[in-house]
Amino acid sequence: MVREKSLLSSIRAICKSSAGLEFFFPNQSFKFARFLKGTNWIAKHFSITSKKLGKTRYYSVCLCLNQIMYAKHKMLLDNIRKREENDSTLGNPKIDKEEMYSSCLELFVKKYDFEGALSKYLHAYDTQSANHEDIFVIGPIGLGLDIDPKLSGVYVCMAGGTGAYCFLDFVAYILRYMVSQINKQLDLTENSIDADEEFSDIGEDFCLVYMSSFSDKDNGVYTDVCSELQRLDNKYNLNRFKFINRFSDSQPKQPRWSTGFIKEQLGVFTGKISKVFLCGPTPFLDDSQENLLSSGLVSKEQIRFV
């Protein structure tokens, strides 16, 4: 558990409005894992306080957006594509000891360009001459997704904007599982991040439906990975993953997630949906809950706000 003064040591853009911010702890020698197995840690978060601004805000753990881990997950997918194309120049996605831990905590923060917003303040942080007494970090905190030890039925994750960050490690977990299944079919032996990772909690009927919504392409995150995963799910008949994405500014306009759209997309899972997780801004949560309930596909007890 971290309860420490911190300094920001680097800021790396991941899309137009969000960046990965690395928090360094000058008084401690913490080690933060870049890769964790299982699911019980997914969507836990850290609180960040600026004494100067007098504000505390929360940011989700999202390991798969780390630069090293993003590249490794991409490589898993690229290796499959290369095998399909008879290209023998496969990469090695295995994680080694040096890559496993970082001395910095990386969190992904969207910049809200409003006076006094903590995110704006962090994005403008001077990593060279910052005040050691300003930023205080606590975490990991919260229940996270609090996923059942056995994954069965259909899980639907609906994200508005940065709400995506609390679901992407779940997507990455299912990605690694799906890749492990396809590896067997293609006789790919070295295509894993950790060869000892087990997926015994994934039931035979489990499927993840991941729905993300971003203002535009420049603000989309992980959509390239999810689209490729969808392609693999279709091609190898896995029925483990369904990806629905919406860019609000797209032309022609993509449908909003109305009751009708939810029925159209999720109707095929009637009677099979175990849980729906919602994460995003308050209006998004209110609308989504209302539309889900009026679709008749889920009850209030099945919906969880992350």
Ligand X SMILES: Cc1cc2nc3c(=O)[nH]c(=O)nc-3n(C[C@H](O)[C@H](O)[C@H](O)COP(=O)(O)OP(=O)(O)OC[C@H]3O[C@@H](n4cnc5c(N)ncnc54)[C@H](O)[C@@H]3O)c2cc1C
> Among 92-100, 107-115, 220-228, 265-273, which window interacts with ligand X (CB under 6 A)?
107-115
How far is 123 from 11, CA to CA, in rounded Å?
Answer: 7
- Asked if 44 is part of the footprint of ligand X (rule: CB under 6 A), the reply reads no
Write each residue from 159 to 178 as x if it is in contact with ligand X (CB under 6 A), else as -, in one continuous string.
---x--x-------------
How far is 187 from 206, CA to CA, in rounded Å?
Answer: 24
Nearer to ligand X, 36 or 90 (CB): 36
How far is 48 from 31, CA to CA, in rounded Å?
Answer: 18
Alpha carbon 116 to chain centroid, angstroms: 27
Alpha carbon 300 to chain centroid, angstroms: 24
Nearer to ligand X, 146 or 194 (CB): 146
- Asked if 222 is part of the footprint of ligand X (rule: CB under 6 A), the reply reads no
For residue 127, the SS3 value is: coil
- Asked if 284 is part of the footprint of ligand X (rule: CB under 6 A), the reply reads no
Task: Report in angstroms how near the CB of residue 27 gets to ligand X at its nearest.
Answer: 25
What is the DSSP annotation of 26-72?
A: TT----EES---SSTTTT-EEEEEETTTTEEEEEE--GGGSHHHHHH
- Asked if 282 is part of the footprint of ligand X (rule: CB under 6 A), the reply reads no
Binding-site member from 16, 37, 55, 263 for ligand X (CB under 6 A): 55
How far is 52 from 75, CA to CA, in rounded Å?
Answer: 42
Binding-site member from 109, 244, 285, 303 for ligand X (CB under 6 A): 109
Nearer to ligand X, 55 or 231 (CB): 55
Q: Which of 188, 162, 166 is nearest to 78 (CA)?
A: 188
Binding residues for ligand X, how many (CB under 6 A)?
A: 18
- Asked if 213 is part of the footprint of ligand X (rule: CB under 6 A), the reply reads no
Binding-site member from 3, 51, 58, 87 for ligand X (CB under 6 A): 58
Binding-site member from 25, 32, 35, 59 for ligand X (CB under 6 A): 59
Nearer to ligand X, 34 or 83 (CB): 34
What is the DSSP annotation of 231-271?
A: HHHHHTT---EEEEEEETT-SSPPPP--HHHHHHHHGGGTT
Q: Which of 177, 8, 244 is nearest to 107 (CA)?
A: 8
How far is 9 from 169, CA to CA, in rounded Å?
Answer: 24
Task: Report in angstroms how near the CB of residue 221 gets to ligand X at its nearest.
Answer: 10
> Among 93-101, 114-122, 209-217, 250-258, which window interacts with ligand X (CB under 6 A)?
114-122
- Asked if 118 is part of the footprint of ligand X (rule: CB under 6 A), the reply reads yes
Chain residue at closest Cβ approach to ligand X:
119
- Asked if 119 is part of the footprint of ligand X (rule: CB under 6 A), the reply reads yes
Provide CB contacts within 8 A for 173, sequence distance 6+: 39, 42
Binding-site member from 34, 83, 110, 176 for ligand X (CB under 6 A): 110
Nearer to ligand X, 45 or 242 (CB): 45
Binding stretches for ligand X (CB under 6 A): 45, 55, 57-60, 108-110, 112, 114, 116-120, 162, 165
